[in-house]
């Protein structure tokens, strides 16, 4: 059956197309990581993220073969960035994916594609269509769960998960301060709605969304984790520690506790999109690099 192209449904959140993209990403990463910058967990996080431009969802491109999704061209948050994922059995679509991104994902004529280093079909397609590689890189790291480091919390600190008596205000606080915002976080209805939206994916396992609680009851470190049964890997996203509580081993303990829980469910590796020394120090090692390709006139 011939491959057909169509656009993603413009409706936000958990549509049939959302499910198709997730299942596609699960399938093409089932035996090895082929889309390290956009595994299914990153898709889940992106589709609920408060920074996602929901008005442009119809620009996402989908290629199907007999109803089976075989390629996707999407942005992560806003137009001007392109993530291209193609089932390797349909590698001939890589040139089409680049061409579509060039037409539909630009922001005022600007577009950067984030392409996996060593994917020569994508590199040739991008080069032939006016893109040029830059010095900017994204990185994906791996941790082998059978080599998990030991960790413990300071006295008086404890873990809590979203499956327990989860406080949305405390979650909002640690995310607000952990990602560099100053002062007290807003707890208005709009802000709290966004926070709840970002943990609304039907694929979330509440036991894997954890925080460290300080002796005064405040959440001071947080790790989100994405895992489903039968996957060999789990995906770390996001991680935040309140600046007043850094250098105490709390971030390390939070991430490794979440990874440990995934290991008990069957995961053998953890994946994170980062190049921070923090992750190297707790046992992650470099596994994938991706280059930002920019459209040149």
pLDDT in tens, 214-253: 999 999 999 999 999 999 999 999 999 999 999 999 999 9
Q: Which of 28, 133, 146 is nearest to 91 (CA)?
A: 28
Q: Which domains does the chain have, with CATH numbers?
A: 3-129 (3.40.630), 144-287 (3.40.630.30)
Task: Please give the Cα distance from 64 to 57 (Å, whole number).
Answer: 18
Could you check whether the bond before residue 238 is cis, i.e. omega within 30 degrees of 0? Answer: yes
Strands 81-86 and 112-116: parallel
pLDDT digits (tens, 9 = 90+) for 238-249: 999 999 999 999
Q: 3-class DSSP state for residue 152?
A: coil
What letter would DSSP give residue 59?
Answer: G
At 65, is the pLDDT very low, low, confident or very high (cuts 50, 70, 90)? very high
Q: Please identify which residue in the block is written with the tokens 């991430």.
A: 255
Q: Are 283 and 251 in contact (CB under 8 A)?
A: no
Q: What pLDDT is stored for residue 297 in this prediction?
A: 62
Q: What percent of the chain has pLDDT over 70?
A: 99
pLDDT digits (tens, 9 = 90+) for 96-138: 999 999 999 999 999 999 999 999 999 999 999 999 999 999 9
* Integer angstrom CA distances of residue 215 from 96, 153, 202, 257, 284: 55, 11, 32, 19, 29
Work out the number of other CB atoms within 10 angstroms of the CB of residue 167.
16
Q: Are 220 and 242 in contact (CB under 8 A)?
A: yes
Q: Which of 204, 200, 197, 196 is nearest to 234 (CA)?
A: 204
């Amino acid at each position: 059956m011939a491959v057909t192209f169509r656009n993603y449904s413009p409706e936000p959140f958990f549509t049939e197309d959302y499910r198709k993209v997730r299942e596609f990403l699960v399938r093409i990463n089932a035996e090895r990581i082929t889309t390290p910058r956009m595994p299914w967990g990153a898709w889940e996080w992106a589709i609920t993220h408060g920074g996602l431009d929901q008005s442009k969802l119809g620009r996402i491109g989908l290629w199907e073969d007999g109803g089976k999704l075989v390629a996707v061209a999407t942005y992560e948050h806003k137009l001007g960035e392109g993530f291209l994922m193609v089932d390797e059995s349909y590698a001939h679509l890589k040139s089409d994916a680049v061409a579509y991104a060039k037409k539909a994902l630009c922001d005022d004529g600007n577009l950067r594609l984030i392409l996996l280093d060593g994917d020569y079909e994508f590199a040739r397609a991008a080069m032939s269509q006016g893109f040029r590689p830059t010095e900017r890189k994204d990185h994906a790291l791996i941790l082998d769960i059978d080599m998990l480091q030991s960790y413990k919390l300071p006295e008086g600190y404890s873990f809590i998960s979203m499956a327990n008596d989860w406080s949305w205000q405390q979650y909002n606080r640690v995310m607000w301060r952990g990602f560099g915002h100053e002062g007290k976080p807003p707890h208005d209805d709009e802000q709290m709605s966004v926070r709840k939206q970002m943990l609304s994916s039907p694929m979330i396992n509440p036991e894997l969304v954890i925080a460290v609680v300080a002796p005064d009851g405040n959440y001071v470190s947080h790790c989100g984790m994405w895992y489903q049964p039968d996957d060999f890997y789990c995906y770390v996203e996001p991680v935040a520690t309140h600046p007043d509580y850094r250098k105490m081993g709390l971030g390390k303990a939070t991430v490794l506790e979440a990874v440990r829980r995934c290991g008990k469910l069957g995961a053998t590796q953890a994946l994170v999109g980062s190049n921070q020394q923090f992750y190297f120090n707790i046992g992650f090692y470099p596994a994938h690099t991706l280059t930002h390709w920019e459209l040149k006139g």
